[in-house]
Amino acid sequence: MTNEDQDSSGVQACELCIVGAGIAGMNALYAASRYLKPDDKVILVDRNPKPGGMWNQTYNYVRLHQPHRMFTAGDIPWEPARTPAHLADRTEVLDHFDHCLQTLQAEVQLEQRYGCLYLSHREVEEADGSYSVLVECAEGDESGKRVQIKARRCVKALGFQIPQNAALPFSSTNVRSISPDSFDLLGEEMRASDKPVYIVGGGKTAMDTAHALLSRFKDKQVSLMVGRGTVFTSRDTTFPTGLRRWWGGKTSLETFLELGLLFDGDNEDEVLDYFSAHYTTQLNPQCRQFVFGVLSQAENDVIASGARDIVMDYVSDIIDEGDATVMVLRSGERRVIERDAWIINCTGYVLREPHPYEPYLSEHGAVVSVQPTSTIHFLTSFDAYFLVHLFYLDKLQTLPLYELDFQGLNECSKSALPFTAMVHLLYNIGLIVEAVPNSVMLNCGLDFDRWFPLHRRLFAVSRLRADGAHKRAHFRRALDRVCERFEVRCGPLVH
């Protein structure tokens, strides 16, 4: 570091500070690198010991939902090349984060600070009336040495800040309560055990866990406690293979457009019924919760046929009654379970902890925030990519995008959330497409439609644009109705 990089008070100076080195931070860095000069200094701050965000702590048998190529920063290709349908595992994903950073280091002067905890930031008015950002961090934890960074602009790419799961606490001491994040679920101890396994949760983690156990340990007795049950988008339908990529099925944009035009802000149950009938797979027809997970029919069949029991209820507690160990369900049902049974906490990670509201663009326009209380896209990778492009194009303050309090709506209505999110992104993407250079859209490697040949993608975009004003008015009415029904923030950004 030169003297020009640090003032007399020890404050480090840079053109851009990015907080967070997960998938959102990588896409923020990619987008910013399209506008910065090679000698512009960027400081990347993350609390983890290396890039990768939640992938540093998650369970070791995790895989991507979607084919790996659409999980990247901008349009940075994966190396080495893999088959298109490959679902990358944790190690491969972390290796790709390293590859993305190596690629982007050639674009800007990048300083990476890991093990550095973000504490706060504030906008500072300069003598010429412009605003810069003073970011305060701590080395290690909150008690660590303070680090101050002064940046002309800042991107807080904290995303969902997904925590690790802990083992569930129960009254009984006669069960083995574990979390896949802190226990080697596929290790020798589980292999040698003949005790039954109860998976608590019905989402992606639960499906990963059930599939891994049933695939590796053929005689394992596995039961799933799935609550309302989760509906998954069928990978076979969303990412068809062979000639169907050229002529069959629908692209993700076409599917979202179809569902978005059906959703009017009031009829989420009706739209879920239609969606379930045409695009999904689930363990049984009673499943009623959709949270954008993806599962193949083959994976679903392994779990549905191999599970000893699939229970549509929630676990309240496990207690001891005399010599019996009893699982108490929310419905009031009580089930005697075997002593020393395994109880695996696979409940949801996303939005488990509350986030304070922060607008996607700060009051004085120097900070972009990527988190679930003020989104323009429900996926933080897309959110970061488009927000930062618009940030540097000076369009964020003028484009009439709708922000959505994803967290608030999730608390009010998990049923309305997915279809509101679809309509919300369709409305905003319609505005963004008209406001940015074509290169912004062409370089968005995150786009699921990239699974399909170019002619399929162009057809989908043409359908979005056709009668665009009419579609946009429908989307806006649906979003306004959601705002009215649930009293959540869903509309133009207002400071």
Q: Does some domain include residue 269?
A: no
217 lies in the same domain as 87: no
Q: What angle do CA 485, 488, 492 make, to 5 degrees?
A: 110
Let me know whether 83 and 153 are in one domain.
yes
Q: Which residue in the block uniquely carries the two structure tokens 């309302």?
A: 228
* Contact indicator for 236, 66 with CB cutoff of 8 Å: no
Q: List pLDDT tens digits, range 433-483.
A: 999 999 999 999 999 999 999 999 999 999 998 998 999 999 999 999 999
Rounded Cα–Cα distance for residues 344 and 221 (Å): 13
Which pLDDT belongs to residue 6? 62
Residue 187 lies in a domain: yes
Q: Which of 10, 6, 12, 16 is nearest to 40 (CA)?
A: 16
Q: ω before 372 within 30° of 0 (cis)?
A: no
**110-114, 325-329, 345-349: least confidently modelled range:** 345-349
Domain contains 56 = yes
Same domain as 196, residue 306: yes
Q: What is the pLDDT of residues 387-409, one digit of tens each?
A: 999 999 999 999 999 999 999 99
Q: Residue 3: is its pLDDT beyond 50?
A: no
Q: Which residue has the tokens 């392994």?
A: 302
Query: In this structure, are 185 and 316 located in the same domain?
Result: yes
Asked if the model's pLDDT at residue 202 lies above 70, the reply is yes
Same domain assignment for residues 78 and 7: yes
One domain for residues 54 and 91? yes
Q: Is the pLDDT of residue 1 over 60?
A: no
48 and 194 assigned to the same domain: no
Query: Does the residue 443 lie in any domain?
Result: yes
pLDDT more than 90, % of the chain: 93
Q: Is pLDDT above 60 for 110?
A: yes
pTM score of the predicted model: 0.95
225 in the same domain as 151: no
Q: How confident is the model at residue 352 (pLDDT cuts 50, 70, 90)?
A: confident
End-to-end CA distance of the chain: 37
Pair 191, 128 in one domain: no
Look at residue 8 and tell me whether its pLDDT is greater than 70: no
Q: Give yes or no for residue 213 having a pLDDT over 80.
A: yes
Parent domain of 386: 3-162+356-393+436-451
- Residue 363: what pLDDT? 96
In this structure, what CATH number is given to the domain that contains residue 155? 3.50.50.60
Asked if pLDDT for residue 280 goes beyond 80, the answer is: yes
Q: Is residue 193 over pLDDT 70? A: yes
Q: 34 in a domain, yes or no?
A: yes
Q: Is residue 47 scored above 90 in pLDDT?
A: yes
Give pLDDT, residue 146. 96
Which two structure tokens, joined as six digits, stand for 52?
């990768």
Calpha distance 21→18 (Å, rounded) = 8
pLDDT higher than threshold 80 for residue 4: no
Contact 211, 302 (CB under 8 A): yes
Task: From 208, 374, 233, 369, select the one nearest 292 (Cα to Cα).
Answer: 233
Domain assignment present for residue 240? The answer is no
Is 462 part of a structural domain of the chain? no
The number of domains in the chain is 2
Mean pLDDT of the chain: 95
Q: Is there a domain that residue 458 lies in?
A: no
| Distance set, CA 112 to CA 7, 134, 286, 363 (Å) | 19, 17, 48, 27
Place of tokens 């009706």: 270
* Model pLDDT, residue 336: 97
What does the pLDDT look like over 129-149, one tens digit per residue?
999 999 999 999 999 999 999
pLDDT at 2 over 60: no
Are both 336 and 365 inside the same structural domain? no
Q: Are 55 and 148 within one domain?
A: yes
Q: What is the pLDDT of residue 354?
A: 86
122 and 223 inside one domain: no
